[in-house]
Structure 1
């Protein structure tokens, strides 16, 4: 761990309470909430219970002069706490402990917290946009949007928090916007953007150019992989094109554009002829080979399979009904902290849920996990 630890970064967050009413330090409440979520706690009562069960251990790291705060106090403080400050502290901590390598794929995608929807208060579900390091499988930062359509405005805010120089930033079609491409370039990184109907002229240019037989032409830069299992065979093919003239005048609208990419996935089931063929188009400011294009496009989906899936299955994020004030957003960030902590531990070869259970019952293991956060 280089630089400042997590708790030092969190110490810059201002306490929203009236100081003469404060019975429990903000640092103690934040620390308790983080370690309880690492230990599998899913709600305020469970966080309080975790604190009561581990009070002597907690006092090795914080004051807890007045014992463990009750769940109502924890809920109230987490609702009042500035979500923006917490997210900035998180991103600053990740800048300190994660050094991006040249060409590293940073996947950006959004996730809706389904149970955060509150019909009675006419409050829409919380939608978080996250940046995920595909190689290291850690969250680098996140911001909240009002809904999925606002990812376009949230992504530049998220990029501003990140240190991504030299990286390849991958974003799905929602983020295929000129302003976002320019923001990535301004941060010293390259973009790989999926193209769909929200950029109709781009999509039309690809459609007019592409034919499946192009994958077979020896003079084209193409690449393929094949995987078989469970009665299915999936073939993935990619084509990297550096002749930008097929875009016409559109080429001048995208900053530093160098590569056009086409990726096809062909699935055969039970020896039957392929019926399911998916073709995706990409634009990139990086000069990518067909192999690099296929690997980067596949790496993008790690944010779904490695992050979003584990948040739902391991931490039951979609079942969480916490939504008062800024509490839902803050708990989403704390789950990302817990995710990074548990992913960072390699001493116990197990899935997310098993690691959480061990952390809950084994204080020595929990201390080991915390060491990875720079907490000692």
Structure 2
């Protein structure tokens, strides 16, 4: 009557009914993340008597995986997450258990799963998320879970991890036994991963001949720190760099401003490994065509003028005749710290890993893999956010806070796994 266009009442009602039908269909359709879990769950073998099972393993992990995105990976947290968010999975799955799970049951199930089976399950979840980019840097290092002390491990149980620094994903881990050590486990774990084309970095503890040989056989390169535990090699490398000149080696350098009023300068000098004695070249696989590296970090205090300098030495199978070998070596040396800053620090600060008080090996192994799965998905979400907005992504703590509820966590998992499922 006033000359303004209006939708009829019947049209508006039809639109509302259609929207309700769409919402109902969306709720009844499992997300990409749920489809992924369904696809990968057969890796987990349930040893329980099936006619007595109240809480199927696939549903327990369907809840535990989204809970891990917000750092809720303790038994009590997973049980509370189940109770607080049960209506959401009940909409997707008619046979979802109607009873709340207890934290004792969660703990028992985490202890029941064989670590090798759970590691295989974890690998199948994260492998599709890996971007097969050229020259990936994989850092190898161990970390102690401080609260898991026992007579055999006074500083806590120790886990050795292979960390893909470019993708921000832990490829896998191994819980070191009371009578084991990093040296033997590192060489064994090389066979578990596809490291072809990767540059694997490690600290001096893992600079071992067998480890280097396994990496070369796997089709990868290495850049290994050398210190006093390889005494003769260490001294020979120092002597080789004692009279180095700019025309003899390949150089790389950069200047940067550090925290606390300091100015830092990093430089890398690379020499052909052929300057070493033939005995060293014979002992270390792939080194004959490789190089030796000196990484120098100097620091100057802007106020006091005090200066300090630190030299670190490495052996590498990166080919000396490559035109950008100095840049490759500098990148490998620098990116090794990604395992400390982007994995170990996040586990301790955001996932409270040092508070994991448990003596059972299966539990601690499986619980920490849940943490690392959460980090892998969070890193992928940050990467997608940066690509979409062109700005720095929000911090992990803020992302974890936003993923506390099941719908938002499942939506995030669906976003990460959408391309995998559709492929």
TM-score (norm 2): 0.81
TM-aligned CA deviation for residue 10 of structure 1:
3.4
The alignment covers a number of residue pairs equal to: 371
Aligned to 1:151: 182
Name the structure 2 match of 1:39: 70
Deviations 1:230-257 (A, max 9, x none): 3101111111111523334211111111
Deviation of the 1:283 alpha carbon: 0.9
Quickly say closer, same or farther: Cα 1:38–1:254, change in 2 above 3 A: same
Q: Does the 8 Å CA contact 1:55/1:67 hold for their aligned counterparts?
A: no
Identify which of 349, 353, 359 aligns with 1:313.
349
Task: Report whether the alignment pairs 1:228 with 2:248.
Answer: no
CA distance in 1 between partners of 2:179 and 2:309 (Å): 27
Find runs of 4+ consecutive structure 1 residues off by over 6 angstroms.
121-124
Match of 2:111 in 1: 79
Alignment of 1:71-220 (within 5 A): 71-118=103-150, 125-146=156-177, 150-211=181-242, 214=244, 217-220=246-249
Given that 2:153 and 2:178 are in contact with CA atoms closer than 8 Å, whether structure 1 keeps it comes out as: no
Partner of 2:8: none
Separation (CA, whole Å) in 2 of partners of 1:373 and 1:147: 38
- Contact 1:10 1:86 survives alignment (8 Å): no
Q: From the superposition, tell whether residues 41 and 152 of structure 1 become closer, same or farther in structure 2 (CA, over 3 Å).
A: same
CA distance in 2, matches of 1:332, 1:143: 11
Q: How do 1:297-336 residues align onto structure 2 when only pairs under 5 Å count? A: 297-336=333-372
Instruction: Give per-residue Cα distances to partners, 1:140-170, cap 9 Å, x unaligned.
Output: 2111113697111211232222112111111
2:66/2:410 contact within 8 Å kept: no
Q: Deviations over 1:278-318 (max 9, x none)?
A: 21111111125222211110011111011111111111111
Where does the alignment leave 5 or more consecutive residues of structure 2 unmatched? 1-31, 386-392
| Structure number, greater radius of gyration | 2
Residue aligning to 1:59 = 90
Structure 1, unpaired ranges of 5+: none
Secondary structure of the structure 2 residue equivalent to 1:237: strand
1:350 to 389, 394, 415: 394
Would you say the 8 A contact 1:95–1:163 is kept in 2? no
Alignment-derived partner of residue 271 in structure 2: 241
Verify: 1:369 aligned to 2:388, yes or no: no
Which deviates further from its counterpart, 69-78 or 93-102? 93-102
Whole-angstrom distance in 2 between the partners of 1:331 and 1:180:
28
Deviations 1:319-365 (A, max 9, x none): 2213434111110111111111111113663222221221114x442
**What's the RMSD between the two structures over aligned residues?**
2.6
Question: Secondary structure of 2:172's partner?
Answer: strand
